[in-house]
Structure 1
Amino acid sequence: MSTPYQLLGEAGIRELCNAFYDIMDSAPEAATIRRMHAADLGPMKEKLAEYLTGWMGGPPLYANKYGSVCMTEPHAPYRIGPVERDEWLWCMNQALAQTGASEELKQMLEIPLQRIAAAIQNREESGTPLADGVIAVG
């Protein structure tokens, strides 16, 4: 079985990340998470591409540059509830479709992407903190 990296390569992952942030930047369905980002999405496109390259089975570009990181840490300052989680997943699914991802790749990534989105969710509701910093996962 191939890894997502083998199916996409670094160029394909970068294309996916560019599409992801372009969709986030323009789609009303992603307005909540778009407001969490700086005006210039270029640095985030690069960071996500570096992270996903390693996460999808390629070279650990992100870890080599920034060190190992738990995905919840960089997202902790943001209020991420079900709305934000679902907007992120929607953008990623749209980006996969826009870039012509195969059904094999979409199926391969579906559950892992849902797990990432659930792991960075840190509020039960949008704008409502959880008690004692507990992370909501589902």
Structure 2
Amino acid sequence: MTPYDAFGGDAFVRSLCARFYALMDALPEAAACRAVHPPSLARAEEKLVEYLTGWLGGPPLYTDKYGHPRLRQRHFVAPIGKAEVEGWLLCFHRAWGELAPQSAMADEILAKVDSLGWHMANRD
């Protein structure tokens, strides 16, 4: 069973992404991360839904639509330093903690998300 299936499929991913971006809008600790996004988070939220769906083992929505993710390259347009990464990870961890059932699989996914988050940094 894939993580996508184990955590609840499309409904889980959509709830996770909606909560993630709601936290980004609300948490002062995420202000640096929020500042590199456009005023509306709707497009970013949909792209994250598409990406996480495939990344968690569901349908490859993102790659079918946009091709290879090349996440770091696609994010070079935004200045991403320590504050941006920490804000992003804070929002993701909180949303994940609220919605994902506790499990070894959930912990493993968070560890991979942490690595991916820090990989996105493109400035000191």
- TM-score normalized by structure 1? 0.83
Higher relative contact order (CA 8 A, sep 6+): 2
CA contact (8 A) 2:33 2:88 kept: yes
Counterpart of 2:79, as a letter, is R
What are the within-5 Å matches in structure 2 for residues 90-109 of structure 1?
Answer: 90-99=90-99, 101-104=100-103, 105-109=105-109
1:110, 1:121 → 2: CA distance? 17
Unmatched 5+ stretches in structure 2:
none
Q: Report how far residue 45 of structure 1 moved.
A: 0.8
Please identify the structure whose Cα radius of gyration is greater.
1
Counterpart of 1:103, as a letter, is Q
Unmatched 5+ stretches in structure 1:
125-138
- Percent identical pairs in the alignment equals 39
1:14, 1:110 → 2: CA distance? 17
What are the within-5 Å matches in structure 2 for residues 10-49 of structure 1?
Answer: 10-49=10-49
Q: Report how far residue 118 of structure 1 moved.
A: 1.5
What are the within-5 Å matches in structure 2 for residues 5-84 of structure 1?
Answer: 5-8=4-7, 9-84=9-84
Q: Report how far residue 49 of structure 1 moved.
A: 0.4
For each residue in 1:28-61, what CA deviation from the matched residue of structure 2 results, as whole angstroms up to 9, or x when unmatched? Answer: 1101111111111111111000000001111100
Aligned alpha-carbon RMSD (Å):
1.2
Aligned length: 122
SS at match of 2:78: coil
